[in-house]
Amino acid sequence: MSEYCLAERDGNLLIVTINRPEVMNALHPPANAALSEVWDDFQADPDLWVAVVTGAGDRAFSAGNDLKYQASGGDMSGQPKSGFAGLTARYDLIKPVIAAVNGVAMGGGFEIALACDIIIAAENAVFALPEPRVGLAALAGGVHRLPRAIGTKRAMGMILTGRRVGAIEGQELGFVNEVVGVGQAVEGAKRWAAQILECSPMSVRASKQAVYQGLEHAGVAAAQAAKYDAVVAMAKSEDYIEGPLAFSEKRPPAWKGR
């Protein structure tokens, strides 16, 4: 818990809220550091299996980097190695994270959402990478993740212009999974989280790691031949036995996450 973010446990689910609504949840180094600590705890906690990240209020998920803080001479040291919001450079996180986007997701805010595995957007959500309009570039993963999510030409249409994209167009482009009513982003994300929690957390982690690390290989054959630590852990887990056993006994599985 911090003045800059809130973390709420709900069983095996963690709800993380960026809590700077007075600046549309824009982030400065102290907020990034606080969020990084939250993700450190999530990553290490065996009883937390899925996370949802959202922004306080209904105006913004996050307006990105706090440019006013930076322009006023604020201390820009102390940025965590795990990246913007402590998430955009956290490449070893194999637990799933869902972005519940309410309102504006601009620049670094959009990059936070792109660093998540699933994006649920309220109808009033607006996405953009406007950095070129202020002499910057979306280097917290935006210029790399967006082309991988929606294809190069579609991504360049957003990156080179900095244009704003609404929730419905975001779904049509392919980076939004579901559009929900205004104020319903978190509830929508919780529905998706509930479906993930029905699955073995060991299998979910193995699948996530295999997808992202597999994309580092040029072809499917090389990706399939690669070794993934989370797949090895899955095969050695109690859940690996429990799943088939529960199926044969016609009962819901009792996942252990180990």
State how far the Cα of 197 lies from the Cα of 45, in Å rounded to an integer.
15
Beta strand residue intervals within the chain, DSSP E? 5-10, 13-18, 50-55, 60-62, 97-101, 104-106, 118-122, 126-128, 165-166, 178-180
Cross-strand partners of 9 = 14
State how far the Cα of 144 lies from the Cα of 161, in Å rounded to an integer.
16
Per-residue tokens: 44: 């290490």
Under 8 Å between Cβ of 107 and 67: no
Q: Catalytic: 198?
A: no
**CB-neighbour burial class of residue 222 (10 A; exposed 0-12, middle 13-18, buried 19+):** exposed
Q: Catalytic: 131?
A: yes
**CB-neighbour burial class of residue 53 (10 A; exposed 0-12, middle 13-18, buried 19+):** buried
- The residue annotated as part of the active site, out of 131, 172, 187, 242, is 131
- The residue annotated as part of the active site, out of 8, 22, 37, 111, is 111
State how far the Cα of 102 lies from the Cα of 125, in Å rounded to an integer.
5
Under 8 Å between Cβ of 17 and 6: yes
Could you give the residue numbers annotated as active site? Answer: 111, 131
